[in-house]
Structure 1
């Protein structure tokens, strides 16, 4: 049975967001088919191929936004996001895509998007609900920049349409498409009608695809109940892993550094290796969060130093070694830089208090 949400299921506030690398691959592959050099856009952003080859890897939302806009600028196409979305790529949505393929009907597939879309990314959230006697599947983007948001929303809705028609083996168009944004400069309403195959409305309260109820019953070409159950079990495990690891890169680095400090040695290269990225890529992710490796390390060391200095049984040599310093003098200099006082002065003041 198909179940639909009648209210927003997700909170859109205070979202930094990550998304699967499969989204970047989808942009690059679509760009190639549209005659745009996706590799060049990757290079412009300082991305390595290894950064996007693993579909399970999560990358900051800002990376996805910047790549999309780099491709838009290269293509000089005001409708690049939309055209890229209309290119069917069955493997683009990773395990979510395979779940949808194996559903019994189009309605069952639509109902599962909201449940598992976080596996693809946190760039937006979807809803499926009744609308004026029909059904509307809407998408609410977690993107602030208006230009990026427009291309991304058009890309998502176009992807839904092309993928839905492919898995249901139908060319039947939706009743209408609705967009929050206005008709972009340089584009015509006729362009949208030609690409979507139905009326397209602008300046609406939300962005979504509107279909008739009977389309929910369309059978899918590759339905497999047994495989669907196995895929959903796998997806649930992935969602659980995401929930336990939904951290910023700053926190990921901090946790790895804490682990290294327990062993008394700091290795910057090892941090990147343990987090599954190159050193250059890790620095780029931290910059997107307005921080950098040394700052994260200094914050952690200062907190640990202040804690250890509160214990009078800990010598300055022991504390320096515990923080990964080879020389006590290096610890002294860094601590005074952080706090404005020497370790001894800090300990005396703390003991007095």
Structure 2
């Protein structure tokens, strides 16, 4: 039985820890720095919060962000990459590799890649899924560096980029410029790697058609399964974020997901749900979360989940829980208090 992969479950390739060890950084030190249990070292899957904490810990331990990016990008052995990345190294050419990377990156949140070819340029823009907050600069830098490293290792040529842009400070920029072979800008509006489009036609010396015929169908099946789950999660996340003081509509959510509302509705139908159902679920889940906070009064809770008047919220809540928000809160808080008291007594005695 396959384990479901959600937006909050990210795979850590074993080669990651090996790469850090080659740089003189132990997995034990990373876990301690990130304030995570040591068992995280042997966990194949971590949460997005843990994932970002691990990258921040590596950044803190290595010192300068730029040097940490270049060191890890160059030391990481191709054979240690997971199938999602390994497939790109055995692609037909650089263009095929980048398109595969962007496609299969959907299986490895929290970042996503958008590849655009125009004129003599090819741009790859990095965006963060499920959050407006940027990830650690180290993770941003290593993601873009690995895209150029992919081309260099695949073609066997010392390719250079045309321009690299980062939204955050990246440490010693000269180190990055020496690695990318071009100007590196920080404080930009986005995180983007610009390549020479002519390089995309370069064939890969590591092209392996037989291996791709094995990997591609399995990865595509995983992606199809992932997409139906992730679109539902993404829609619900956007709804929750947009509830306060209003009611988000499918057009607004579809626009944020860069698709038409008709396409979004079809994707949700394929996943046996609808926008209306997800809106109701999001309101219900948020209502319970807010009611568990005694500092919020009922009127505030109603507003926070998008109801203009308290009566409408009361009617909806009765349908969800068969009780009033006030009664539910009283029962819930009393139950929590009893549980804490019991826990306290058992600890004492």
TM-score by length of 1: 0.57
Aligned runs of 1:129-168 on 2, under 5 Å?
A: 129-131=116-118, 133-142=120-129, 148-168=135-155
In 2: Cα distance, 1:149 partner to 1:72 partner: 8
In 2: Cα distance, 1:243 partner to 1:76 partner: 37
Q: Which of residues 226, 232, 241 in structure 2 aligns to 1:242?
A: 226
In the other structure, the counterpart of 2:196 is 212
Taking a change above 3 Å as real, the CA distance of residues 133 and 125 of structure 1, as seen in their structure-2 partners, is same
In 2: Cα distance, 1:83 partner to 1:141 partner: 24
Taking a change above 3 Å as real, the CA distance of residues 52 and 198 of structure 1, as seen in their structure-2 partners, is farther
Q: Cα deviations across residues 184-239 of structure 1 (Å, max 9, x unaligned)?
A: 4xx34322212222221223332222222221111112212233122110102222
> What is the deviation of 1:48?
4.1
Q: Rg bigger for which structure?
A: 1
1:82–1:155 contact (8 Å) kept in structure 2: yes
Between Structure 1 and Structure 2, how many residues are aligned? Answer: 239
In 2: Cα distance, 1:188 partner to 1:242 partner: 38
Taking a change above 3 Å as real, the CA distance of residues 138 and 340 of structure 1, as seen in their structure-2 partners, is closer
1:88 paired with 2:76, answer yes
In 1: Cα distance, 2:63 partner to 2:197 partner: 38
1:87–1:159 contact (8 Å) kept in structure 2: no
In the other structure, the counterpart of 2:47 is 60
1:28 paired with 2:17, answer yes
In the other structure, the counterpart of 1:40 is 29
1:85–1:157 contact (8 Å) kept in structure 2: no
Aligned runs of 1:198-209 on 2, under 5 Å?
A: 198-209=182-193
Structure 1: segments with no counterpart, 5+ residues: 1-14, 249-290, 296-305, 311-335, 342-353
Taking a change above 3 Å as real, the CA distance of residues 209 and 48 of structure 1, as seen in their structure-2 partners, is same
Q: Which of residues 181, 189, 193 in structure 2 aligns to 1:197?
A: 181
In 2: Cα distance, 1:224 partner to 1:144 partner: 38
Taking a change above 3 Å as real, the CA distance of residues 37 and 175 of structure 1, as seen in their structure-2 partners, is same
Q: Which of residues 97, 102, 125 in structure 2 aligns to 1:114?
A: 102
> What is the deviation of 1:37?
2.3
Taking a change above 3 Å as real, the CA distance of residues 241 and 202 of structure 1, as seen in their structure-2 partners, is same
CA-based RMSD: 3.6
Taking a change above 3 Å as real, the CA distance of residues 53 and 127 of structure 1, as seen in their structure-2 partners, is same
Taking a change above 3 Å as real, the CA distance of residues 129 and 244 of structure 1, as seen in their structure-2 partners, is closer
> What is the deviation of 1:338?
3.8
Q: Which of residues 97, 108, 113 in structure 2 aligns to 1:126?
A: 113
| Residue range with higher mean Cα deviation, 97-106 or 35-44 | 35-44
1:86–1:158 contact (8 Å) kept in structure 2: no
Q: Cα deviations across residues 246-288 of structure 1 (Å, max 9, x unaligned)?
A: 599xxxxxxxxxxxxxxxxxxxxxxxxxxxxxxxxxxxxxxxx
In the other structure, the counterpart of 2:342 is none
> What is the deviation of 1:29?
2.8
Taking a change above 3 Å as real, the CA distance of residues 69 and 50 of structure 1, as seen in their structure-2 partners, is closer
1:18 paired with 2:9, answer yes
1:136–1:211 contact (8 Å) kept in structure 2: yes
Aligned runs of 1:166-177 on 2, under 5 Å?
A: 166-177=153-164
TM-score by length of 2: 0.58
> What is the deviation of 1:131?
4.4
Taking a change above 3 Å as real, the CA distance of residues 53 and 165 of structure 1, as seen in their structure-2 partners, is farther
1:31–1:84 contact (8 Å) kept in structure 2: yes
1:71 paired with 2:58, answer yes
In 1: Cα distance, 2:184 partner to 2:156 partner: 23
